[in-house]
Amino acid sequence: MFPERFSNLPAYAFPRLRALLDVFEPGGEVMHMTIGEPKHGFPDWVAGVLAKNIDGFGKYPPNDGTPELQGAIADWIKRRYGVSVDPSAQVMPLNGTREGLYNAAMALIPEAKNGQQPVVLMPNPFYQVYMIGAISVGAEPVFVPATKETGHLPDFTGLSEDVLNRTAVAYICSPANPQGAVASRDYWADLIRLAEKHDFRIFADECYSEIYRDDPPVGALQVAQELGADPERVLIFHSLSKRSNLPGLRSGFVAGGPDCLKRIKQLRAYAGAPLPLPLQRVAEAVWADEDHVIENRRLYREKYAVADKIFAGVEGYMSPEAGFFLWLPVEDGEAAALKLWQETGVRVLPGAYLSRDVDGFNPGKEYIRVAMVAPKEDMRRGLIRLRDCIYG
């Protein structure tokens, strides 16, 4: 016997992509532009910190993170957003933010809201763990279109009173994956006021917050503080994967109100997987350093400029405000990805693989997602091949 709650899930995005493409030979030198795995270098001193603390693999790591790591994260939040949090009560390091985005749902979503099945709101397209978190706790996932018409962010304020009164959590990603849109201060304020009115929490996935063009994206926690919102209203999730080019470190954090964090930590004590101690020591040092982040951002700004030049004449091209994905308009994402593979060897992800059909509409169907993570000149060649194949 197997659970039914996961029985109607489609294959995950990347197995679907392999099934679509790998039955055909590539039409040129293979270039992977699908997964958001940063290829810029991480700080060269990371190896020394790891070596110095290598004996920590012989110990069980502290479940809630070392005091030094909690402190380094709290200090970063203060520097970045001007918000003071209690390191021991309002911060928990994560074994990758996907763990946190999932387990926060497990720890905080109630069995019922106003006597009914709870709702979990999420953008569409979306990071797939949002949906799985909702399904795992028996909540109803509600997919809210994030389209060109809505500024590529979901308009939660336009939902019905019935849905909002059942809402327990709203997931929101800013800067957005895949579109690169950034929530403004007004957007956050409207969402926080909506959450206060209808008594739900906001899970703010801000993993791309340090990759941007000009002005740093405003954060959910800082707007919540400015509004004097309930401290338990907003939880933020961050990662070193994108900020510091350390996806294999599996280091992130969740921060928010002390009552929420208490429940998340309790679940971690029973079912979580804390980061190994030597990796926590690395994370302490990485959160404390900004020089490598500034350099990383400079490299991405150069890539934005390359992409903008290559796609300057393409109708509907939207230059991302932040993050490292291009969300390119096509007639059909699957057909475009297959054509590109067969004719050039470039691999991209159909946008529909990041979205769900709602009432016969899939907001990702007419897009492809392209990751700008390869070295700049490799990326340039790949984007030119893509442009000439799809838009030529």
Domain edge (last residue) among 263, 289, 315 = 289
Domain edge (last residue) among 274, 289, 304 = 289
Length in residues, the chain: 392
Residue 304 domain-assigned (yes or no)? yes
Angle between the N-to-C axes of helices 67-81 and 277-287, in degrees from 0 to 180, rounded to the nearest 10: 30
**pLDDT tens, position by position, 18-30:** 999 999 999 999 9
Q: What is the mean pLDDT of residues 86-96?
A: 96
Residue 253 domain-assigned (yes or no)? yes
Q: Per-residue pLDDT for 7 more than 90? A: no
Q: Nearest Cα to 347, choosing from 318, 373, 312?
A: 373
Q: Nearest Cα to 388, choosing from 46, 42, 28?
A: 28
Same domain? 313 vs 182: no
Same domain? 277 vs 301: no
Percentage with pLDDT > 90 across the chain: 95
**pLDDT category of residue 9 using cuts at 50, 70 and 90:** confident
Same domain? 136 vs 247: yes
Same domain? 122 vs 161: yes
Q: What is the mean pLDDT of residues 79-97?
A: 97
* Phi/psi of residue 325, nearest 5 degrees: -115, 145
User: What pLDDT, on a 0 to 100 scale, did the predictor assign at position 272?
Assistant: 83
Same domain? 311 vs 246: no
What does pLDDT average to over the chain? 96
**pLDDT category of residue 310 using cuts at 50, 70 and 90:** very high
User: What pLDDT, on a 0 to 100 scale, did the predictor assign at position 173?
Assistant: 98
User: What pLDDT, on a 0 to 100 scale, did the predictor assign at position 108?
Assistant: 98
Same domain? 101 vs 128: yes
User: What pLDDT, on a 0 to 100 scale, did the predictor assign at position 273?
Assistant: 87
Q: What is the mean pLDDT of residues 44-60?
A: 97
Residue 4 domain-assigned (yes or no)? no
User: What pLDDT, on a 0 to 100 scale, did the predictor assign at position 266?
Assistant: 96
* Structural domain range at position 50: 46-289
Same domain? 133 vs 265: yes
Residue 7 domain-assigned (yes or no)? no
Q: What is the mean pLDDT of residues 285-301?
A: 97
Q: Per-residue pLDDT for 10 more than 90? A: no
Q: What is the mean pLDDT of residues 46-69?
A: 96
Instruction: Look up residue 216 and give its two tokens.
Output: 């740093």
Domain edge (last residue) among 289, 315, 348 = 289
CATH no. for residue 373? 3.90.1150.10
User: What pLDDT, on a 0 to 100 scale, did the predictor assign at position 163?
Assistant: 98
Q: What is the mean pLDDT of residues 84-91?
A: 98
Q: Per-residue pLDDT for 281 more than 90? A: yes
Same domain? 139 vs 29: no
Same domain? 107 vs 61: yes
Percentage with pLDDT > 70 across the chain: 100
Residue 3 domain-assigned (yes or no)? no
User: What pLDDT, on a 0 to 100 scale, did the predictor assign at position 6?
Assistant: 85
pTM of the model: 0.96
CA atoms within 13 A on the CB side of 367: 26
Same domain? 154 vs 268: yes
CATH no. for residue 234? 3.40.640.10
Specify the pairing of strand 234-239 against strand 201-205: parallel
Q: Per-residue pLDDT for 2 more than 90? A: no
Same domain? 240 vs 367: no
Residue 27 domain-assigned (yes or no)? yes
Q: Per-residue pLDDT for 338 more than 90? A: yes
Return the bridge partners of 78, or none. Answer: none
Residue 142 domain-assigned (yes or no)? yes
**pLDDT tens, position by position, 127-169:** 999 999 999 999 999 999 999 999 999 999 999 999 999 999 9
Number of domains in the chain: 2
Residue 201 domain-assigned (yes or no)? yes
391: buried, middle or exposed (CB in 10 Å: 19+, 13-18, 0-12)?
middle
Strand, coil or helix: 85: coil
Same domain? 166 vs 273: yes
